[in-house]
Structure 1
Amino acid sequence: MKSRVESPGKLLQSERLEFRIYRDEDFEFLCSLLGDPQVVRFIGDGETRSRSQAYEFLYWIYRSYKEAPETGLRLLVRLEDGKPVGHAGLVQQTVDGAEELEIGYWIAPQYWGLGYAKEAAASIRDYGIERLGRKRFVSLIQPENKASRKVAESIGMGFEKAVSMGGKEVFVYSLDVAEDGGKKG
């Protein structure tokens, strides 16, 4: 899988996906993700969000771009037809008091099973290593989310520990990059 680093607006491009910053016109797609019980069942408290909560989430994404322009969630746009299929990115998280960089990914249900999550996660991992020089990544995954655990494992992450976040058990999958550039889960 080949990734190309792009301008700040386009974080990168993979074989089938363009990773670009969210814009106001992407709100309806974001709202559809946040309002879909299938998408959010393993995100946070598992509850869908209202339109006003979706606006708050979009503004959080915008703030993250200002605070750390090279990270944050990016809209995943399919190259073949320009359709958004989900979002992915590197997100700052605090886990057990430690600052971590999470590889996060959400895909709209109509695109599940097509390999977009794996492609996005691998591209984000490579971007973090090659462009940002990061040596450690995590993914925070609820235990029942077998598909997301499989994606994390497919990009070299391994189960590290279980933690409690927001009153829910969450599995921390991690990847530590060896000094020689090799990956170890």
Structure 2
Amino acid sequence: MLETERLIFRSYSSDDLHLLLEMTSNPDIMKFIRHGNPWTKEEAIESLNRYIGWNNEGIGLYLAFNKQNSKLVGHSGLIPQIIEDINELEVGYWVVKDEWGKGYGLEQAKAWKEYGLMDLEHPRLISLIQNGNIGSIKVAEKNGMKHEKDIELLGKRVAVYSICIT
């Protein structure tokens, strides 16, 4: 599985509901995710099942742990998206609040960008960033992505950042 200097990633399993709930119950983490509110247990279970299915296909979100202390840092990966009737692959990343400001968002995003472009040989990757999420905009830009356009997605104004290899 994928690793960085400080992080190790692993697939989700059915035993990881508590880890997902730890992240999705925090209003600060969820402010710019989906509807902008903490998830219900049912939403977390539905998402966990989707993540497990994606992981079985070699894509989707993976848990990220600190290599030194095995502490949960967040999750990230390559998320299948359909944007304006086009199949896209999104570099997505979350960081648990206790780990904000330590560079883990960019570290995760860079690892998945390199994996998607180089290992999977996917010619284009995107990041979808809700209006006002300044931290994620900075991560996308530092990760070599450029603002392409703004779209409406699930009733929210979302910026599409992208990177292509030609």
TM-score, normalisation: structure 1: 0.87
| Structure 2 match to 1:24 | 14
- Alignment partner, residue 28 of structure 2: 38
In 1, Cα distance between the equivalents of 2:111 and 2:150? 26
Output the CA distance in 1 between the equivalents of 2:49 and 2:13: 10
- For residues 109-143 of structure 1, the C-alpha deviation after alignment (integer angstroms, 9 at most, x for no partner) is 11000000100000000111121011100000012
Superposed counterparts of 1:58-137, under 5 Å: 58-66=48-56, 69-137=57-125
Q: Which residue does 1:154 correspond to in 2? A: 142
Deviations 1:140-170 (A, max 9, x none): 0012000000000001001000000111110
Mapped partners of 1:81, 1:159: distance in 2: 36
Partner residue of 1:172?
160
Q: Which residue identity is paired with 2:93?
A: Y
Q: Which amino acid aligns with 1:120?
A: Q
Q: Secondary structure at the match of 1:13?
A: coil
2:52 is paired with a residue whose SS is helix
Shift of 1:41: 0.7
Tell whether 2:34 aligns with 1:57: no
- Is 2:74–2:95's contact at 8 Å kept on the other side of the alignment? yes
Structure 2 contact 55–62 (Cα < 8 Å) conserved: no
Q: State how many pairs are aligned.
A: 166
Distance apart, 1:55 and its partner CA: 1.1
How many angstroms apart in 2 are the aligned matches of 1:169 and 1:143?
Answer: 6
Cα distance per residue 1:16-47 (max 9 Å; x no partner)? 00011012332212101111110111011102
> How far is the alpha carbon of 1:49 from its aligned partner?
0.9
Counterpart in the other structure of 1:7 = none
| Cα distance per residue 1:31-78 (max 9 Å; x no partner) | 011111101110111021122221111011112223xx2211000011
Name which of 97, 112, 132 aligns with 1:144.
132
- Deviations along 1:63-113, one digit per CA (max 9) or x if unpaired, are 2223xx221100001100111110000011011111110000000011000
Aligned partner letter, 2:34? G
Structure 2: how far apart are the matches of 1:26 and 1:16? Answer: 21
Q: Percent identity?
A: 37
Corresponding position of 1:13: 3
- Cα distance in 1 for partners of 2:109, 2:55 equals 19
Which range moves more in the overlay, 52-61 or 152-161? 52-61
